């Protein structure tokens, strides 16, 4: 009998992370659940152990605290049974850019960018050495859309996409699968936590539909999975435009339009 890899999921106490936990448990994977709310994760763990007969470990951590983050990094480095990391923990932006405080900026940028990067960095050497493993990073379509006015949140999610693409370039050939999942508005607590009434949104995806779609992309080993994108060629076009732009970058000289006028 093959032993399925353990899945460590951050932000597993609610929403997308809790749903990933349920889906991976149904597939027979042992789990490590990470978030701050221990009681909530214990409840989920008890249910999943009973329903799916899998081992579920609860690792409480506030990932914005260095000591807690270091404990999760150590677990990823040392526990060879962990073969899938789901970097899902994240928070939305409350208020406009001019309303942010230094602390709120630090928290948002740390949780949404530093944490997934540090956790990926903790596990990547082991995965690369083993020639297998998967890193799933939860981004957002907001990372494509500065027009939405969620500037810091969107910037963190643009970072997550780039991080995933770069990790794929560096680790893909070593047998490590990297997936960026980009949801749009999904029915979870992130909205109320950031002070937005979800009922004011024109359209919202149910969280089960989002995660099931993300897992279709995972099973296909897609690098970028955008469940709410109905015309896949839009992504291909954006990627081709990006590569076209790069082919017109010449390092030696400034473009004609920037040559000083005599
Ligand atoms: N819902 C949506 O519309 C969309 C969500 N996303 C992304 O999906 C991901 C999951 O969010 P979603 O499920 O929607 O929202 P939730 O608010 O339901 O989940 C966020 C999770 O992150 C955990 N978390 C928050 N802060 C910390 C922290 N400091 N340390 C550790 N864990 C923390 C929370 O648990 P706890 O409070 O117990 O710590 C919770 O489990 C995020 O990265 C989000 O940006 C992307 C696009 C759309
Ligand atoms: C803007 C949000 O907070 C949302 N989670 C999203 O990424 O769409």
What 3 state SS string does 170-201 have?
HHHHHCCEEEEECCCCECCCHHHHCCCCHHHC
Per-residue model confidence as pLDDT tens digits over 119-173: 999 999 999 999 999 999 999 999 999 999 999 999 999 999 999 999 999 999 9
Torsion angle of C-alpha atoms 220, 223, 229, 231, degrees rounded to 10: -80
DSSP string, 58-79: EEE--TTSHHHHHHHHHHHHH-
Using DSSP, state whether 92 is helix, strand or coil: coil
Q: What is the pLDDT of residue 14?
A: 98
Q: Is residue 1 part of a domain?
A: no
Q: Please indicate whether residue 86, judged by its CB atom, sits closer than 6 Å to ligand 1.
A: no
Q: Is residue 39 part of a domain?
A: yes
193: its two tokens: 């936590």
CA nearest ligand 2 atom 2, residue: 92
Q: What is the pLDDT of residue 243?
A: 96
Q: What is the total count of domains within the chain?
A: 1
Mean pLDDT for 174-201 is: 97
Catalytic positions: 153
Residue pair 194/94 in contact (Cβ under 8 Å)? The answer is yes
Per-residue model confidence as pLDDT tens digits over 69-101: 999 999 999 999 999 999 999 999 999 999 999
37: its two tokens: 């709310």
CA nearest ligand 1 atom 42, residue: 90
For 231-257, b/e burial (b = at least 16 CB within 10 A) is eeeeeeeeeeeeeeeeeeeeeeeeeee
Q: What is the pLDDT of residue 262?
A: 77
Q: Is residue 55 part of a domain?
A: yes
For residue 42, give its domain range: 6-258
CA of 40 to the centre of ligand 1 (A): 14
**Non-local CB neighbours of 76 within 8 Å, separated by 6+ positions:** 8, 82, 85, 119, 122, 123, 126
CATH of residue 145: 3.40.50.720
**Non-local CB neighbours of 223 within 8 Å, separated by 6+ positions:** 164, 165, 168, 178, 179, 180
Tell me the ligand closest to 150's alpha carbon. Answer: 2
What number does the ligand 2 atom closest to the CA of 148 have? 1
Calculate ∠ Cα 85-87-89, nearest 5°.
Answer: 135
2: pLDDT strictly greater than 80: no
Q: Please indicate whether residue 142, judged by its CB atom, sits closer than 6 Å to ligand 2.
A: yes
Q: What is the pLDDT of residue 167?
A: 98
Q: Please indicate whether residue 158, judged by its CB atom, sits closer than 6 Å to ligand 2.
A: no
CA 119 to CA 128: how far, in whole Å? 14
151: its two tokens: 């500037």
CB-CB neighbours of 17 under 10 Å: 27
Tell me the ligand closest to 227's alpha carbon. Answer: 1
Q: Is residue 53 part of a domain?
A: yes
CA of 34 to the centre of ligand 2 (A): 21
Q: Is residue 57 part of a domain?
A: yes
Using DSSP, state whether 235 is helix, strand or coil: helix
What number does the ligand 2 atom closest to the CA of 150 have? 1
CA of 164 to the centre of ligand 2 (A): 18
CA nearest ligand 1 atom 40, residue: 11
255: its two tokens: 């473009």
Residue pair 227/213 in contact (Cβ under 8 Å)? The answer is yes
Give the confidence band of 1 by pLDDT, cuts at 50, 70, 90.
low
CA of 140 to the centre of ligand 2 (A): 7
């Amino acid at each position: 009998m093959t032993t399925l890899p353990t899945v460590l999921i951050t932000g597993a106490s609610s929403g997308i992370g809790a749903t990933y936990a349920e889906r991976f448990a149904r597939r027979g994977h042992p789990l490590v659940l990470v978030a701050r709310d221990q009681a909530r994760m214990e409840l989920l763990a008890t249910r999943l152990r009973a329903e799916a007969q899998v081992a579920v470990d609860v690792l409480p951590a506030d990932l914005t605290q260095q000591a807690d983050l270091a404990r999760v990094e150590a677990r990823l480095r040392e526990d060879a049974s962990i073969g899938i990391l789901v970097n899902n923990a994240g928070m939305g932006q409350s208020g406009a850019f001019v309303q942010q405080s230094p602390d709120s900026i630090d928290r948002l940028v740390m949780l949404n960018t530093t944490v997934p990067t540090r956790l990926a960095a903790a596990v990547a050497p082991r995965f690369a050495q083993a020639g297998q493993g998967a890193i799933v990073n939860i981004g957002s379509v907001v990372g494509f859309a500065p027009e939405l006015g969620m500037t810091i949140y969107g910037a963190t999610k643009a970072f997550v996409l780039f991080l995933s693409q770069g990790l794929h370039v560096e680790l893909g050939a070593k047998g490590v699968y990297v997936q960026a999942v980009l949801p749009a508005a999904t029915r979870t607590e992130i909205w109320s936590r950031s002070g937005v009434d979800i009922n004011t949104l024109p359209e919202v995806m149910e969280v089960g539909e989002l995660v099931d779609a993300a897992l279709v992309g995972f099973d296909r080993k897609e690098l970028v999975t955008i469940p709410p994108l109905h015309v896949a060629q839009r992504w291909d076009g954006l990627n081709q435009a990006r590569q076209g732009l790069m082919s017109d970058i010449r390092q030696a000289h400034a473009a004609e339009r920037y040559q000083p006028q005599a």
